[in-house]
Amino acid sequence: MTDLDIMVPEEKDVVVSGKRYTVRKLSLEQNIRIMRLIGSLHDGTKASIAAEMESGKGDMGAILEKLAIEKTPELLRILLESKDEFPRISFEDFSDVAVAVTELNDFEKIFANFQMAAKNTKGIAEVVKNLLPSLPSSGK
């Protein structure tokens, strides 16, 4: 192991509920799965809020807590690349996973890159839209 490996680790071990896991930089697949999970959390929140409002309850905190508890095991399976269930993870263990993930992934750089990519593509949709009517039709 070189000094550089120690300063910029590629992976980090964490212990969750007494079991050792290795956390690595998040892959594109993991990121996509996390985005889908967040999307399902959002969709579940909308459905729960609608149901609660209809029934006259509408306790937003309880709705979000229920959804977070239901989705935490799935998030951990993605982050730890595991099929384990994580039924009763401690908050301390969860925070260890969060620290490992954020140490190994430069989220500031990732967000800045996507922001720059969005800036670079600004206006492309409008140009493409304007070009479409002038393209020859295939007749289909």
CA 76 → CA 11, 71, 130, 134, distances in Å? Answer: 16, 9, 45, 50
Characterize the bridge pairing of strands 11-16 and 19-24.
antiparallel
Q: Domain-by-domain residue ranges, the chain?
A: 13-104, 107-135
> What are the pLDDT tens digits along the chain (140 aa)?
566 555 667 899 999 999 999 999 999 999 999 888 888 876 767 777 777 767 766 566 666 677 677 888 999 999 999 999 998 889 999 999 999 999 999 989 998 998 998 888 877 777 777 777 665 655 55
What pTM does this model have? 0.67
